[in-house]
Structures are given as structure tokens and as C-alpha cells.
């Protein structure tokens, strides 16, 4: 079974530039998550999708971050404009969906490491 795919693996940009990350979840997984992981910290949930609808985006800085999930499968996360403090690893995860707890187990991609200079 293929895992969660993310691209690019690395990205270096200057502050005030824009950047986008792409995620392809495991086939059949209804729920998709984006996390931000700053060096030395645990992942922080930014947004959760159930199919193509947003379930939780309470920690997404909406003035500069946006995300969409195309047709309930792939997803993109965009930052516009980037700030120095956005330097982090952006992780995508997917799970089967809601219902039993087993369906909530998340499978993570390798992440995109963003450096903002």
C-alpha cells in the first residue's frame, strides 16, 4: 500500500514570497490533516479535512495560510506571504475517517522542510 506522498521535500524562499505544498493521501482515506512542526517541537495541527470539507481550521493563520482539498483527494497548503517564523516542516497525514478509534489512526508523509530567509 502506498503511503502519504508529499512534495516538494525541501523549499527555500525569501520572506514575503509565496509557497505551496502538495499532499496525496493514502487511497480511500477520507480525512486529511496538515501539521506544522517547528524544530524541537511536536506537530501542531493546522487544518483537518473530512472528504473535501473543513472540519477544523482553528489554528490556521488565515491571514496568510490557505488550504484546499481538491475533489476530496489531493490537497494543497499555501503560504502567502511567508514570514521568517514560518520556517518549519509541514506534515500531511491521512486517516480512514470518523467512527471507530481505529479509523482515527493517522499515517504521515515525510513532510516538506521550508526555510524562509
Partner 1 sequence: SQKIEQNSEALNIQEGKTATLTCNYTNYSPAYLQWYRQDPGRGPVFLLLIRENEKEKRKERLKVTFDTTLKQSLFHITASQPADSATYLCALGQDMRFGAGTRLTVKP
Question: Minimum Å distance from CB 16 to partner 1?
Answer: 28
Question: Minimum Å distance from CB 94 to partner 1?
Answer: 11
- Residues 55 to 74 in contact with partner 1, rule: CB under 8 A: 56
Nearer residue to partner 1 within complex by CB, 42 or 53: 42
Specify the stretch interacting with partner 1 by CB under 8 A; choose among 12-20, 21-29, 61-69, 103-111: 103-111
> What does 53-103 look like in DSSP terms, one character per residue?
EEEE-TTS-TTTEEEEEGGGS-EEEEESS--GGG-EEEEEEEES-SSSGGG
CA 30, CA 103: separation in Å to the nearest integer?
10
Q: Residue 51 CA to chain centroid, in angstroms?
A: 14
| φ, ψ (nearest 5 deg) of residue 25 | -75, 175
> Does 33 participate in binding partner 1 (rule CB under 8 A)?
yes
Nearer residue to partner 1 within complex by CB, 27 or 58: 58
- Residues 73 to 102 in contact with partner 1, rule: CB under 8 A: 91, 93, 101-102
> Does 47 participate in binding partner 1 (rule CB under 8 A)?
no
Partners of residue 20 on adjacent β-strands: 78
Among 32, 88, 111, 114, binds partner 1 (CB under 8 A): 111
In terms of DSSP bridges, do strands 10-13 and 112-116 run parallel, antiparallel, or are they unpaired? parallel
Amino acid at each position: 500500500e502506498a503511503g502519504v506522498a508529499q512534495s516538494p521535500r525541501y523549499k527555500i524562499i525569501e520572506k514575503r514570497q509565496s509557497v505551496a505544498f502538495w499532499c496525496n493521501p493514502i487511497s480511500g482515506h477520507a480525512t486529511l490533516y496538515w501539521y506544522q512542526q517547528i524544530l524541537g517541537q511536536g506537530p501542531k495541527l493546522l487544518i483537518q479535512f473530512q472528504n473535501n470539507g473543513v472540519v477544523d481550521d482553528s489554528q490556521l493563520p488565515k491571514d496568510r495560510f490557505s488550504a484546499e482539498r481538491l475533489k476530496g483527494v489531493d490537497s494543497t497548503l499555501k503560504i502567502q506571504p511567508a514570514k521568517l517564523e514560518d520556517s518549519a516542516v509541514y506534515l500531511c497525514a491521512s486517516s480512514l475517517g470518523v467512527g471507530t478509534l481505529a479509523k482515527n489512526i493517522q499515517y504521515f508523509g515525510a513532510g516538506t522542510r521550508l526555510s524562509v530567509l
